[in-house]
Amino acid sequence: MRDNSYQAVMARKNAIMKSAVGLDYSQFESGRIAFDYEAMMAAPGLDIKKISVIQREYGVGNTPLHELKHITALSRKYAKPGFGARILLKDEAANPSGSFKARRAALSVHMAKEMGYQGVVTATSGNYGAAVASCCAKAGLKCIVVQECFDSRGLGQPEIVEKARKCEAFGAEVVQLTVGPELFYTFLLLLEETGYFNASLYTPYAILGVETLGYELSSQCKERYGAWPSAVVATNAGGGNLTGTARGMQKAGCESPVIAASVNLKGLHMASDQAFNRKSFTTGHTGFGMPYTTWPDRSDVPRSAARPLRYMSRYVTLTQGEVFYTTEMLSVLEGMERGPAGNTSLAAAFCLAQEMPEDALLVVQETEYTGAGKHPNAQLSFARANGVRIMSGNPRDEVPGESIILPQNPGQMACQEVDLNHLRKSLISKAIEGAALPLGEDDLQFLAEETRSDAAYVKGVINHIQEGSS
């Protein structure tokens, strides 16, 4: 009999993962730190056209690109003359499961079926689980969704409970857990016991699936307006959304900057039982965005295909109150009820558009469905019941976990800049922990690519770290 203690299961996690993904990651390792990222992404042997065909078989993709004329007009009221970019919105809620994650799921489920797996397991709080469940229903595969749902009191956030309902509606078995390390343990145990496929958010299949999103929005923009987007704003959590979108844009021939946006949840620990129900966003926030940007390989596969710092030109944060406010703005001004988590990038775009000239095209690259539990009213009511103060005022005064402050007027909305140089240094610092120094040229080049810098920059950061520790 296998030893299924926590320590034993965690000790054999790499073997479990290798069996459950159908990909030998060791073949891509090339140095003390480096690995061949592009070789890993090419390993499935799928080009963008083939991926699009696969997704169409699942009813995924080819979503509309809307121009938000009323929100653009409102943004221009707070911009100086001649400024206020046209804001466009890629409506990913039009996918069968209601989010862009259907693109990831379609390709992952397709690969699972191609490789002969009888079912799929995924660990997620929501939208991706629904997407995998939807695609499994089409493919005739079993689906298990492992969901971190409750705090120790047995209270589940309405957004997560809503997503569980959607997963079950598509026929998935949902395993609901309290917050803590048992999520990954249970996930590994289920993979080992069932022999099912690991539909991780961080495999090459998952990120290749998102590339069609970037390809589509670039092509749609070019066809309709005769120009590439001036910039694209992507909500950033684990990094796959931004990574896949940017790579797809490049494959379309579009080199426009990609701006990351996250909800600021500074001070709330994501694995804390006490903090679990004091945050109103379960994704798209800094609790995932920051750590996954500075060290992508903390994911559930040996090497993550989501590596956002390679692609982002800028990183901004918004408050919870600003995103809730933008969600109502989209409903009232444009007649589109979406989000709210997906509206993080729209909240950023409302502010960023004011920095850009009127003829610029600013694309928000995704929306998500809403529902009874995901609706802002349900989330704000739950926050209030858990001791979070809900008020209107200056969003800058918001303290995550203690208050949610809705702006009194749109002019109070403002993006807060994240220092990309600080993130680059943090990634390099984490990468060299425990590594034998000096690094080889392949390792230096790898870290330069990871940080969108060069070998000289990497050497300078490493020297500074060594001097500080001596």
Q: How confident is the model over 65-90, as pLDDT tens digits?
A: 999 999 999 999 999 999 999 999 99
- Helices 420-431 and 286-294 pack at an angle, to 10 degrees, of 60
pLDDT at 105: 98
What is the CATH code of the structural domain delimited by 57-97+205-417?
3.40.50.1100
Split at pLDDT 50, 70, 90, the class of 234 is: very high
Q: Which residues contact 50 (CB under 8 A, 6 or more apart)?
A: none
Backbone angles phi, psi at 287, to 5 degrees: -65, -25
> ω before 340 within 30° of 0 (cis)?
yes
Res 416 pLDDT > 70 = yes
In this predicted model, what pLDDT tens digit does every residue of 321-377 receive, in sequence order?
A: 999 999 999 999 999 999 899 999 999 999 999 999 999 999 999 999 998 889 999
Helix (H, G, I), strand (E, B) or coil at 426: helix
Sign of the C-alpha dihedral computed for residues 411, 412, 413 and 419 taken in this order = positive
Q: How far, rounded to the nearest angstrom, does the alpha carbon of residue 298 sit from its chain's CA centroid? A: 14
Same topology, domains 6-48+99-203 and 57-97+205-417? Answer is yes
Q: What is the pTM of this model?
A: 0.96
Whole-number pLDDT of residue 22 = 87
Percent of the chain with pLDDT over 70: 100
* Res 135: pLDDT: 98
Instruction: Report pLDDT for 271.
Output: 78
Over residues 430-444, mean pLDDT: 91
Q: Given this model, what pLDDT does residue 126 score?
A: 80
Task: List the domain boundaries for the chain.
Answer: 6-48+99-203, 57-97+205-417, 430-469
Question: Does residue 30 have a pLDDT over 90?
Answer: no
- The answer to which of 10-24, 38-52, 243-257 has the lowest mean pLDDT is 10-24
pLDDT one-digit tens code per residue, 252-281: 999 999 999 999 999 988 778 888 899 999
For range 95-114, the mean pLDDT: 97
Domain 6-48+99-203 sits in CATH 3.50.50.60: no
Lowest mean pLDDT among 4-13, 55-64, 98-107, 248-257: 4-13
- Model confidence pLDDT, tens digit, residues 117-140: 999 999 987 899 999 999 999 999
Which residue has better confidence, 223 or 17? 223
User: Which has the minimum average pLDDT: 107-111, 124-128, 165-169?
Assistant: 124-128
The pLDDT-based confidence of 470 (bands split at 50, 70, 90) is low
Q: How far is CA 59 from CA 56, 98, 157, 296, in A?
A: 5, 12, 30, 30
Neighbours of 297 (CB within 10 A): 15
Measure the CA–CA gap between 168 and 383, rounded to whole angstroms: 25
From residue 105, alpha-carbon distances to 197, 232, 311 in Å are 12, 23, 22
Average pLDDT of the chain, as a whole number? 95
| R_g of the chain, CA atoms, integer Å | 21
Q: What is the pLDDT of residues 380-412, one digit of tens each?
A: 999 999 999 999 999 999 999 999 999 999 999
Task: Kindly state the average pLDDT of the residues 204-225.
Answer: 98
- Which of 6-20, 163-177, 312-326, 435-449: highest mean pLDDT? 312-326
| pLDDT score at 434 | 83
- The pLDDT of 161-172, averaged and rounded, is 93
**Per-residue pLDDT, 437:** 85
- The more confidently predicted of residues 159 and 390 is 390
DSSP 319-348: -HHHHHHHHHHHHHHH-----SGGGHHHHH
